[in-house]
Amino acid sequence: MRPMDTFSAASPAAAVDLLDALDDRLAPYAHTFMGYYANHAPMATEAMIALGRTERAEQYVQRWIHELDLIDPNSAYAERLERVRAAVDADWRVAVADVAREASADGFAHLGHGVIRTGHAVRALQAHDSVARRGELARALTAWAEWAESDALPDGSTARSADELVTELVQRAMAGYAESPPGRPSFFALHTVTTAVAIDRVRSVLPDRLAAASVSAFLAAMHEHIGVTPVAGDPADMPYDLAPLIDRAVASGDAHDIKLVDALVFPPTGLTPTDPNRDAAIERFAADLGVVLERRPGAESE
């Protein structure tokens, strides 16, 4: 499977400018809408631009921006955001590490939206450093810290590396999603996948020991909720063209579908492109959206 084959043609420079412009446009808004629900706009727009669906990103922001809560300048969130923004401007990787150390122990707080948003922001900033993207990272980290309700991660090292841990985390999440009950899977099953991929994006900029401890905390939380054992073995090459699945997910306008297809198209680097758990999750998602997966030209028949 070659993810780049699924992308629409778009100027890289134009995509960079667009994401910066949309980050700036969303900057006045808090991490919530209707006072509680997560603000998905920054996450969904970053995912759509990464997937090459730039025109949909602009439409999505236009659709949702009036539903979002403005930042209250007198709130605790605004005060924290000011501190985090200063830390991000000083050294954004250190700022990510500081919040990860304090917030990772809470596992899937607020269905993982804090770390999911941070994962999107980290990926964007790794691709291109800008004032707008640092601003979005600061807002993502502030949201993660606001939603977490736990003590900091304990000191010490884990017996396994972050690479090993994140591979199991993502495999377990994708297997659990694929095997969830018939019909659209629960929000928890969906969010375990997007959270697992997000923590891999975040841990890529963390010191090794902290990365392992952070992933270990998320894995422990997942073990409490998902009893599915990931599939092992050497799978056949995934022969499907994912463009129709991306198009259907993006056209739905549902941020959860958009973020899930992004997580399936861009899995952790330690996960083989043909991991059977990922393949099963892709097939399940396609079935849920009513998409018939077609074989890529030249793919061998099974």
The per-residue pLDDT for range 102-115, each reduced to its tens digit, is 999 876 788 899 99
Last residue of a domain, one of 115, 147, 179: 147
The average pLDDT across 6-14 equals 59
DSSP string, the chain: --GGGGPPP--HHHHHHHHHHHHHHHTTEEEEETTTEE--HHHHHHHHHHTT-HHHHHHHHHHHGGGEEEP-TTSHHHHHHHHHHHHHHH-HHHHHHHHHHHHGGG-SGGGGHHHHHHHHHHHHHHH---HHHHHHHHHHHHHHHHH--SPPPPSS--SS-HHHHHHHHHHHHHHHHHTSPSSSPPHHHHHHHHHHHHHHHHHTTS-HHHHHHHHHHHHHHHHHH--PPPP-S-PPP--EE-HHHHHHHHHTT-HHHHHHHHHHHS--TTS-TT-HHHHHHHHHHHHHHTPPPEEPTTPPP-
In a shared domain, residues 53 and 172: no
In a shared domain, residues 120 and 223: no
Maximum mean pLDDT: which of 43-47, 102-106, 175-179: 43-47
Asked whether residue 154 is assigned to any structural domain, the reply reads no
In a shared domain, residues 135 and 166: no
Last residue of a domain, one of 99, 118, 147: 147
The per-residue pLDDT for 130 is 97
In a shared domain, residues 131 and 179: no
In a shared domain, residues 66 and 167: no
Which residues span the domain enclosing 169?
A: 162-295
Using one digit for the tens of pLDDT, what is the confidence trace for 240-294?
Answer: 789 999 999 999 999 999 999 999 999 887 787 778 899 899 999 999 999 999 8
Last residue of a domain, one of 147, 171, 201: 147
